[in-house]
Structure 1
Amino acid sequence: MSGQREMKERNPWHTPLTIFIAVVGVIAIVALVTVAVLQNKPLIPKYKYGIVLDAGSSHTAMYIYEWPAEKDNNTGRVEQTHSCKVKGPGISSYASDPKKAGQSLQVCMKEAERFVPSERHEETPLYLGATAGMRLLNIENSTASDQVFQAVSESLQKSPFSFQGARILSGQEEGAFGWVTVNYLDDRLKQGLETTGALDLGGASTQISFVSDAFDGSESPNNSVNFRLYGNDYNLYTHSFLCYGKDQVLRMALAHQTKSGPGSISDPCFHNGYSESKNYMTLYNSPCVSKRKPVSSPADFTHVGKGNFYQCQELVKSVFDFTQCKYTQCSFNGVYQPTLQGPFGAFSAYYFVMNFLNLTDTSVPLQSVKEALARYCSTPWETIKKQHPGIKLKYLAEYCFSGTYILTLLTEGYNFTSETFSKIRFIKQIKGSDAGWTLGYMLNLTNMIPAEAPDTPLLPHAGYVSVITVIALVLFLLFVLSLRPLWPRCSQKPQIV
């Protein structure tokens, strides 16, 4: 018994100091792993928000965007969470009664109050950008344009959001921000991939924007925009054609047919059997056609359709000028355009018109697309109305013209061939967000796209925790091995005295 007591007394594992060191070591290792796991555990994300109002020529739309608050100005991905179409026409239509322009926005702004958390209202930026409709109004009547903006601003300032102002975007900005939106949503900018060109078609203007190796900006500096995004430099070609949105082009086509002031016209771009009385003053009340109004004409004319795609295409060509070009190459109206390059995304009216016509599949040969449109245009008006009972007659009547204009603009105006036409995607949304200039506009104003590529952690969260755990285990083993000199004494048999 005395030998066992002596052995126990000599066993270093039973000394208080050794036991204390072992316990502290184990606690330290457990604490190290626990802190590593908890410190790097993904948290429930908090979001920031931004609101953009797109005041177009035919209507206004509101878009709400959100992004992770903890990744502001770095890697936080911005996504569209809600959209609202304002009832009524675009704000430029309220030139004679500006207050109604501001009032028209209230329903959508109330929706925004519900979709953005109340605790984020005061810090959420609110922007309004107006495009070609207000550009035309500003040309025609700058005083009325200012009054519309004043009414809109007063209305938006009453909202709980941080209103950042309302202004007219230049055509170049509209095109460039549309290009940013398309490539941001496709993750092409962050990954440094080949970019996608942007084709935007509205009611009063159209934009084309793309990166071309053949374009350095020297031949046409006004069409050049430079971006540095995520560490990559982009020299973007972009041009906006005012008056070449589908609504204003229709006015120009009708003006071409009514230049002599007739009482009736037979229009190949409208279905056979279509007949409507239209007012000369209403037709020519746009800066795009006002100077072409015939000196002598009746108050109204009868607009009769005869439904012929090929004749319609010749009529549409009359709104383009292909005779002048002082550059090495042009699109139309003497505007420089470099060689088309890469894939393109066509959105806004491009998508809505071609989707209605079931012509968004560009894997179908271009000639087959033209033949399908020719069949549609030749369909009698009464048949068209029966096939599409839920669509307003004004819009339904214009699809033949709009489809013909789109094909003519792309092939004759922008020089897409049978081969390059197949590289166009007609898109409404990308990954849940609408294609258009609004997202690119907000990204620019909030500096959400860094000029340089953001730094990334060496290891993901799971890898980091694994490495810390392995290191902790190695330290524990080294600790045990450090006590090896004590092992022989622990394993000695007790001496019996």
Structure 2
Amino acid sequence: MSAQREMKEKNPWPVTIIIIVIGVIAIVALVTVAVLQNMPLSQKYKYGIVLDAGSSHTALYIYEWPAEKDNNTGRVEQTHSCKVKGPGISSYASDPWKAGESLKECMKEAEMKVPGKRHHETPLYLGATAGMRLLNMENGSASDQVFQAVEGALQKFPFSFQGARILSGQEEGAFGWVTVNYLDDRLKQGLETTGALDLGGASTQISFVSSNYNGSESPSNSVTFRLYGNNYNLYTHSFLCYGKDQAMKLMLAQQTKSGPETILDPCFHPGYNETKSYSDLYNSPCVSNRKPQGAPATFTHMGRGNFQQCQEVVKKVFDFTSCKYSQCSFNGVFQPLLQGPFGAFSAYYFVMNFLNLTNTSIPLDAVRQKIKDYCATPWKQVMAQHPDVKVNYLQEYCFGATYILTLLTEGYNFTSESYSNIKFIKKIKGSDAGWTLGYMLNLTNMIPAEAPDTPPLPHAGYVSIVTLMAILLFILFLVSLRPLWRRCSKHPRII
């Protein structure tokens, strides 16, 4: 019995087992804590709302981003959009209160889409573009009254209203460029940027980075950004009165400058016939000073449907003769050499998409031919082929397509080769292309000037290294017990 007791006292296994169990528990605890500590938490979001008060309509956009990554790596995404019923707010100059009323339906949608606990901290912006720029030029007091009505309506909602204002053409172009490149992840990664081509109802913008432009030749067209640690010297220009709707007024003004009772318009389909008012045609500041003296109250607008003649008429709305710079686009405006890919959005997309011409792999000559064939199609046939399209939109696609092609090739100097660098876009990764996202990113400082710091290791890499280190420690621990293994291997003899 004494020998057995001595054997048990000399046997180290119970102590070894206890040490091993404690070691295993410690290692499991270490790995578990590392995994739990680095597990993604349930995501919380913040929101922003921007109203785009354009010349022809107003649209509301809701943006969302991770709450804990306000100014770092959190990606801002569009989660909802709402098109306000009725025309743009500039159309309510004679009844300003209606401008505010028109926004309420979309604002009620925003109340439902943004979580209630986030309402009070959600910034709400309204930016007005060329329609209000024109109204402000024509009637400043009417413009002020429209803004008062809009602000009064928006302040009744539970969001953090940040004001309503008119964007300059330069801002509209620059923020459109920011939006396109932000959504395409070109800014954060420091890639070659994409130029932005925006075509609205009353103005059009072109914005791009050119390596041969430093802003010295035309400082008014230069905007400098420092984003994610990179400097961008951006060329941008906005042409007021050269949006699609106002350009059509310029085109019709060319054809009615003598005050005729009838015009045969090559930019409208054969068989098109409408009676139109001279007062309505010349009610815009873009053409009001051109109204012919002694013109009748109305004129008969008839279509001819001839693309080549239409393009000749459209060219007359541009001035290609004067240029005091080394090179110009049109109307004596400086433009550096085109560079890189371009994204064309807003009316560019809607018109070209209607004609199935958004695929820029189609040669430019083939694009011209398709527009030519479409313009020559009789009006009755066009209406029969598109019964679901509103007539006021349908009647303008021939002019719209001809104008776009002329603006791009004759105005901005795209060639048969560089035309293929244009991509007609409506959305990028689920968010609408346009100035609104860039505007909000700027006002909320969501894009840092310097590149954000990032952890040295990703979550998965960190957990893997911790796990390997724990296993290595465990192996070393077992190796340290080798002397005990030898002692345990010597079986005690019972005497």
TM class by smaller structure: over 0.9
- Alpha-carbon shift at residue 464 of structure 1 (Å): 1.4
Q: Matches of 1:424 and 1:480 in 2, distance apart?
A: 66
How far apart are the structure 2 equivalents of 1:268 and 1:228? Answer: 47
Instruction: Look up the SS of the partner of 2:72 in the other structure.
Output: coil
CA shift, 1:309, in A, is 0.6
Name the SS for the 2:121 alignment partner: coil
1:368 corresponding residue in structure 2: 366
Q: Percent identity among equivalent residues?
A: 79
CA deviations 1:148-195 (Å, max 9, x no partner) are: 111101111111111111111110111011111111111111111111
Q: Which runs of 5+ in 2 are unaligned?
A: none
Match of 1:224 among 222, 227, 242: 222
Output one character per residue of 1:244-302: Cα deviation in whole Å (capped at 9) or x when no partner. 00100111111111111111111111111111111111111111011111122111111
Correspondence for 2:196 among 195, 198, 214:
198
Residue type at the aligned position of 2:325: Y
Give the residue type in structure 2 aligned to 1:418: S
Cα offsets for 1:331-387 (capped at 9, x unmatched) = 000000000011111000000001111111211111111111111111111111111
Number of the residue aligned with 1:424? 422
Secondary structure of the residue aligned to 1:333 is: coil
Counterpart of 1:173?
Answer: 171
* Counterpart mapping for 1:66-145 below 5 A: 66-145=64-143
1:116-167, CA deviations, whole angstroms, 9 ceiling, x for partnerless residues?
A: 1111111111111100000000100111111111110111111111111111
Q: Report the residue type matching 1:430 in the other structure.
A: I
* Pick aligned residue for 2:400 from 391, 399, 402: 402
Q: Letter of the 2:7 partner, please give it.
A: M
Amino acid at match of 1:109: M
Within a 5 Å distance, the mapping from 1:318-333 to structure 2 comes to 318-333=316-331
Q: Is the 8 A contact 1:3 1:494 kept in 2?
A: no
Distance in 1 between residues matched to 2:494 and 2:298, nearest whole Å: 129
Q: Which residue of 1 aligns with 2:451?
A: 453
Query: Hey, what's the Cα distance between the residues in 2 that align with 1:355 and 1:491?
Result: 84
Q: Deviations over 1:289-341 (max 9, x none)?
A: 11111122111111111111100000000000011101000000000000001
Aligned length: 495
Among 464, 480, 483, the alignment partner of 2:481 is 483
Structure 1 window deviating more from structure 2 (161-170 vs 452-461): it is 452-461
SS in 2 for 1:53: strand
CA drift of 1:469 comes to: 0.9
Question: What is the rounded CA distance, in whole Å, between the counterparts of 2:488 and 2:215 in structure 1?
Answer: 83
Cα distance, 1:495 vs structure 2:
3.8
Unaligned runs of 5+ in 1: none
Whole-angstrom distance in 1 between the partners of 2:171 and 2:220: 12
In structure 1, distance between residues paired with 2:308 and 2:394: 20
In terms of mean alpha carbon deviation, does 232-241 or 448-457 score higher?
448-457
Where 1:42 maps in the other structure, the secondary structure is coil
Q: Partner of 1:212 in structure 2?
A: 210
Deviations 1:471-492 (A, max 9, x none): 1111122223333333333333
Q: Give the match for residue 9 of structure 1.
A: 9
Q: Aligned-pair distance for 1:59?
A: 0.1
Note the C-alpha offset of 1:445: 1.2
Let me know the Cα RMSD of the aligned residues.
1.3
Match of 1:385 in 2: 383
What is the CA-CA distance between 1:21 and the residue it aligns to?
4.5
Instruction: Quote the Cα distance in structure 2 between the aligned partners of 1:357 and 1:20.
Output: 79
Distance, in Å, in 2 between the alignment partners of 1:251 and 1:55 is: 21
Residue identity matched to 1:189: L
Matched, 1:309 2:283: no
> Which residue does the alignment assign to 2:412?
414
Aligned to 2:239: 241
What SS does the corresponding residue of 2:451 show, helix, strand or coil? coil
1:344 aligns with 2:342: yes
CA deviation digits over 1:417-445, x for unaligned, max 9? Answer: 00000111111111111110111111111
Query: 1:20, CA displacement in angstroms?
Result: 5.6
Residue 457 of structure 1, CA deviation: 2.1
- Read off the aligned partner of 2:494 and give its amino acid letter: I
Is contact 1:261–1:294 with CA below 8 Å preserved after alignment? yes
CA contact (8 A) 1:226 1:236 kept: yes
- Aligned to 1:475, the other structure's residue is in SS state helix
Contact 1:8-1:14 within 8 A present in 2 as well: no
Q: Distance in 2 between matches of 1:22 and 1:427?
A: 64
Q: Is the CA contact (8 Å cut-off) linking 1:50 and 1:442 kept in structure 2?
A: yes
Who is 1:261 aligned against? 259
* Partner AA of 1:219 in structure 2: E
SS of 1:208's equivalent in the other structure is strand
Q: Secondary structure at the match of 2:164?
A: strand
User: Hey, what does 2:159 align to over in structure 1?
Assistant: 161
C-alpha contact 1:4 1:494 (8 A) present in aligned 2: no
Matches of 2:356 and 2:325 in 1, distance apart? 37
Q: How far apart in 1 are the matches of 2:367 and 2:24?
A: 74
> Which deviations, in whole Å up to 9, do the C-alpha atoms of 1:391-428 show, x marking residues without a partner?
12111111111110000000000000000001111111
Alpha-carbon distance in structure 2 between the residues aligned to 1:359 and 1:484: 78
Any conservation in 2 of the 1:307–1:378 contact (CA below 8 Å)?
yes
* 2:353 aligned residue: 355
Partner of 1:472: 470
Distance 1:434 1:37 in 2: 38
Instruction: Measure, in 1, the Cα distance between the counterparts of 2:201 and 2:421.
Output: 24
One-letter code aligned to 1:335: V
Letter in 1 for 2:134: L
Other-structure match for 1:442: 440
* Alignment correspondent of 1:186: 184
Mapped to 1, the partners of 2:422 and 2:57 lie a distance apart of 26
- TM-score, structure 2 normalization: 0.98
The AA in structure 2 aligned to 1:110 is K
